[in-house]
Structure 1
Amino acid sequence: MHIDFSTAKGRSSYRFLVGAIAPRPIALVSTIDAAGQRNLAPFSYFNLMSAAPPVAVFSVTQPADRAKKDTLTNVLASGEAVIHIVSHAIVERMNLASVAYPNGVDEFARTGFTPVPSLQVQPPRVAEASIAFECTLIQSIPLGTARGAGTLVICQIRVMHIDDRVLTADSMSIDPQALDAVARMGDDWYCRASGPAVFSLPRIHSDRAVGVDGLPAALHSCGEWSSEELARLALAEELPSSDEVNEFRSGHRLATRQTLAAIARQHLAHFDVRSALLAAICASQAAAEQSCVTI
């Protein structure tokens, strides 16, 4: 299947787009109108775009029943907004805030969220949210006029509020398990960024990774390693020398191919790529020797 967006109908293409570009973090955005009336609404076209200066962007799509959504009207008029990260603990109230209430309805009251004063902007914060960003408007960019067309709202983050309970033990970063953030999928689906869904990969701080094409040919041809395993092995900054391979093999003289491959996978699981590569090369040698004996 393929979709040509020059001829695709809007609603059907929308469902494929939001189902494919997922998960998407959710911005729960509070604003106020000229009369000081509070507004609160969630948006899943949202992300961090810069750290220095800190800039977040969310997009407000064109509704079918009015010129602009209240959030866009308010942020364009006031130049201020507070963006909250949605955790699983507040997901039902976030969903209730997505109701297209008439202009002038206080979504804080309708959803049961508690408004608390912000430090540098007029819109209030949601007390129940673990993380909030007080923002000022840098620029808005309309992307079209049809239903579903977005207007990018580019915001500079002035103040970040963090509940201490979602910090790591050293208070140097955010603990994803404690934050338990919720993200938007396609149709009516959501997901949680916590539990077994969260995993880590080693940060690559070097430009010297050998790459998959730099691995010994035997690792490709032996059939032992998946493409993903080869990619992790390829993070090694250099191939081990023949002396290192011989020394490793001597220390595992009685190990079979299966045992050596298991040792390699144990090292891979702990991101010890160099030791894993040594074991993997020795496993491929053992496989070749076993093949020769069989013949």
Structure 2
Amino acid sequence: MFLDPAATPGFKRTLFNAIVAPRPIGWISTINGRGQVNLAPFSHFNLVSTAPPVVMFSCNAPADRAEKDTIANVRETGEFVTNLVTWNLREPMNLSSFNAPYGTDEFELAGLEKAQSTRVKPPRVAASPASMECKLLRIVEIEPTAPGETFSNVVFGRIVGVHLDERFVDADGRFDTIGTEPLTRLDGNNYATVGRIDVLGRPSPRRD
């Protein structure tokens, strides 16, 4: 089966979310110039590089405003925090995705405690085992070119600080990702955590 997204009647764009899965969730906390805090999850999120340490997240323009509150806040302040979502935090994460009016504090909406950041102003999710403070590098705007498409923003941020729950850090300084049971996004409203695991060593050239 071959599908041309631009030429297939009734093509479902959500197909891409089902194929590119599971996806890590960037739980992004921001603050605007008036001190109003925002917290929202983004499943189009990932690590871009480790040296320099850079993450990215992206989102489409909402139907009720020019752009999502997270993007508006990042444009205004140039700062954001990514908070690791765990299986145990799935319900608060889902509550924070509510399409609330601008200025709503999703920490309060989801019953989450704030923790002070060190190098940026947005607070962290206190219950998250790993949070990364970020400074904005750039925002790449992707304009729609076909009917049914929406305007998108891709945000790149440099990590300037990392907060870790010491219970998940071993003696060698390695973070226990598996132990935190990170939440991932599948298609639709389906979520998952760590499944089957295998350890594969780096291949080396054969020597006959």
Same fold, judged at TM 0.5 (above)? yes
Post-superposition offset of 1:3? 1.8
Post-superposition offset of 1:12? 4.1
Amino acid at match of 2:207: E
Post-superposition offset of 1:63? 1.2
* Partner in structure 1 of residue 187 of structure 2: 186
Aligned residue among 152, 155, 160 for 2:154: 152
* Partner in structure 1 of residue 200 of structure 2: 201
* Partner in structure 2 of residue 176 of structure 1: 177
1:5 matches 2:5: yes
Structure 1 or 2, whichever has the larger Rg, is 1
| Partner Cα separation in structure 2 for residue 176 and residue 199 of structure 1 | 14
CA contact (8 A) 2:5 2:11 kept: no
Distance 1:105 1:49, change over 3 A: same
Post-superposition offset of 1:53? 0.7
**Residues 42-63 of structure 1: CA distance to partner in whole angstroms, max 9, x if unpaired?**
0000110111110000102111
* Partner in structure 2 of residue 136 of structure 1: 135
SS at match of 1:47: strand
Amino acid at match of 1:28: W
Q: Name the TM-score, length of structure 1 as normaliser.
A: 0.66
SS at match of 1:188: coil
Q: Name the TM-score, length of structure 2 as normaliser.
A: 0.92
Distance 1:4 1:180, change over 3 A: same
| Partner Cα separation in structure 2 for residue 8 and residue 162 of structure 1 | 46
* Partner in structure 1 of residue 207 of structure 2: 238
Amino acid at match of 1:97: S
How many corresponding residue pairs? 205
| Partner Cα separation in structure 2 for residue 55 and residue 105 of structure 1 | 28
CA contact (8 A) 1:82 1:133 kept: yes
Amino acid at match of 2:16: L
* Partner in structure 2 of residue 269 of structure 1: none
**Residues 77-100 of structure 1: CA distance to partner in whole angstroms, max 9, x if unpaired?**
100000011111111100110111
In the alignment, structure 2 segments of 5+ residues that lack a partner are none
Q: After superposition, where does 1:49-88 map in structure 2 within 5 Å?
A: 49-88=48-87
| Partner Cα separation in structure 2 for residue 76 and residue 57 of structure 1 | 14
CA contact (8 A) 1:166 1:179 kept: yes
In the alignment, structure 1 segments of 5+ residues that lack a partner are 209-236, 240-295
**Residues 229-282 of structure 1: CA distance to partner in whole angstroms, max 9, x if unpaired?**
xxxxxxxx234xxxxxxxxxxxxxxxxxxxxxxxxxxxxxxxxxxxxxxxxxxx
* Higher helix fraction (1 or 2): 1
Distance 1:12 1:127, change over 3 A: farther
Q: Which has the higher contact order (CA 8 A, sep 6+)?
A: 2
Post-superposition offset of 1:139? 0.2
Post-superposition offset of 1:149? 3.8
| Partner Cα separation in structure 1 for residue 12 and residue 157 of structure 2 | 28
| Partner Cα separation in structure 2 for residue 8 and residue 28 of structure 1 | 34
Instruction: Note the aligned Cα RMSD (angstroms).
Output: 1.6
Post-superposition offset of 1:7? 2.5
